[in-house]
Amino acid sequence: MPKAAKPGVRLDLPQRPRRLRRTAAIRALVRETSLSPAQLIQPVFVIEGGSGAAPEPVASLPGVSRVPVGRLGAHCRELAKLGLGGIALFPKVDPKRKDALGREALNANSLVLRAVREAKSAAPQLPIFADLALDPYTTHGHDGILTKRGDDVDNDRTVAILTEMAVLHARAGVDFVAPSDMMDGRVGAIRRALDTAGHETTGILAYTAKYASAYYGPFRDAVGSKRAAGQAPISKATYQMDPANRREALREALLDEAEGADILLVKPALLYLDIIADLRAHSPLPIAAYQVSGEYAQICAAAERGWLDLPAARDESLLAIRRAGADMILTYFASACARDGQ
């Protein structure tokens, strides 16, 4: 028989936060943040190929494969069944179709536009987000076209191309265009172009605070926007934000709101939770966060070595992003997370 504690050992504590952690049911009652498939958007890489073509695994993104466009319909029906909040489409374009001006971006029958039509007809209720930027189409891998001197991305000429791209995507059936290029003034220009073309119901998810991050590496492998082996990776520092800056994200948010953005996005996510919380506090608009390829890859890599428990680390990372204030998350974990929750 254990002896009863001596009276003097009991603390005189009216406040005992542990009372609310005593059982699973009580913890569920007081949980402040939830995670559900409807809040998750799955990025999907598409390649050319019919329904018989094999998906191509991406080595630096374990569990992620590029999907042949002929298989995309079936793939989207699966994702819709999981109750996901949508897909974000990214094409891997044949290098032969790339040039310095990214002309393929304006081909009305380009891979991504065929993918949009395929996805929309197969799973009409699944929201489609389409990235707007020129990096899948340019030989140099930048998100826009270069200035005459070739030493920077030309803002206004790039915006002109993005507005045309936006209209093509809207016509193909996307629910949201997602400019990820970080050019100044592009949200307003895209809004006007969409409205003029009669696409006033197509939304804009603006990459509001997209940082010049080292964590996009595996994505650039997936879409082939990295420079050839041996060459230094390109720097996007003249358009993507400096990771040192916090207030500047608010400035970008104010501009995107004023220009007509429907959703504001922060990217990457886990290293930028302060930015997500800032935008949540300052904007009435829905906030999205992009858990990028490098964030995904580092969790997978540690789990492969047995150093982290994958589902637990994954769910904790997504919950943290939601807790910081994101309404929705673009994440390569989306479908696995939804499947595990079933």
Tokens encoding 262: 């429907």
Tokens encoding 119: 């996805």
CB nearer ligand PBG, residue 104 or residue 135: 135
Q: What angle do CA 155, 161, 165 make, to 5 degrees?
A: 135
* 110 dihedral zone (left: phi>0; alpha: psi -120 to 50; beta): beta
* CA 205/CA 202 separation, integer angstroms: 10
327 sits in which H/E element:
none
- Residue 175 interacting with ligand PBG (CB under 6 A): no
- The four Cα atoms 74, 322, 216, 212 give a dihedral, to 10 degrees, of 140
Find the shortest distance in angstroms from Cβ 133 to ligand PBG.
3
Residue from the set 133, 288, 318, 329 that interacts with ligand PBG by CB under 6 A: 133
Residue 111 CA neighbour count, 13 Å, CB half: 27
Tokens encoding 108: 């009305």
CB nearer ligand PBG, residue 79 or residue 292: 292
Q: Which of residues 138-167 bind ligand PBG (CB under 6 A)?
A: 143
Tokens encoding 47: 């390649």
- Residue 220 interacting with ligand PBG (CB under 6 A): yes
Stretch that binds ligand PBG, among 31-39, 127-135, 168-176, 281-289 (CB under 6 A): 127-135
Stretch that binds ligand PBG, among 49-57, 107-115, 213-221, 247-255 (CB under 6 A): 213-221
Stretch that binds ligand PBG, among 33-41, 48-56, 212-220, 254-262 (CB under 6 A): 212-220
CB burial string 113-130: b at 16+ within 10 A, e below: bbbbbbbbebbeebbbbb
* CA 309/CA 153 separation, integer angstroms: 42
Stretch that binds ligand PBG, among 30-38, 215-223, 243-251, 305-313 (CB under 6 A): 215-223
* CA 128/CA 205 separation, integer angstroms: 11
Q: How far is CA 221 from CA 58, 226, 327, 331, in A?
A: 8, 6, 28, 17
Find the shortest distance in angstroms from Cβ 15 to ligand PBG.
43
Find the shortest distance in angstroms from Cβ 131 to ligand PBG.
5
- Residue 135 interacting with ligand PBG (CB under 6 A): yes
CB nearer ligand PBG, residue 64 or residue 170: 64
* CA 169/CA 240 separation, integer angstroms: 23
Closest chain position to ligand PBG (CB): 219
Q: Which of residues 285-304 bind ligand PBG (CB under 6 A)?
A: 292-293
Are β-strands 65-68 and 56-57 bridged in parallel, bridged antiparallel, or unpaired?
antiparallel
Name which of 84, 170, 94, 97 is nearest 132 in CA terms.
170
- Provide the annotated active-site residues: 210, 267
Q: Which of residues 222-241 bind ligand PBG (CB under 6 A)?
A: 236
Beta bridge partners of 43: 88
Residue from the set 180, 208, 317, 335 that interacts with ligand PBG by CB under 6 A: 180
Find the shortest distance in angstroms from Cβ 147 to ligand PBG.
19
CB nearer ligand PBG, residue 214 or residue 281: 214
CB nearer ligand PBG, residue 73 or residue 317: 317
Size of the site for ligand PBG (CB under 6 A): 11
Residue from the set 129, 176, 219, 272 that interacts with ligand PBG by CB under 6 A: 219
317 sits in which H/E element:
helix 310-324
Find the shortest distance in angstroms from Cβ 136 to ligand PBG.
8
Residue from the set 131, 154, 256, 278 that interacts with ligand PBG by CB under 6 A: 131
Residues that bind ligand PBG (CB under 6 A): 131, 133, 135, 143, 180, 216, 219-220, 236, 292-293
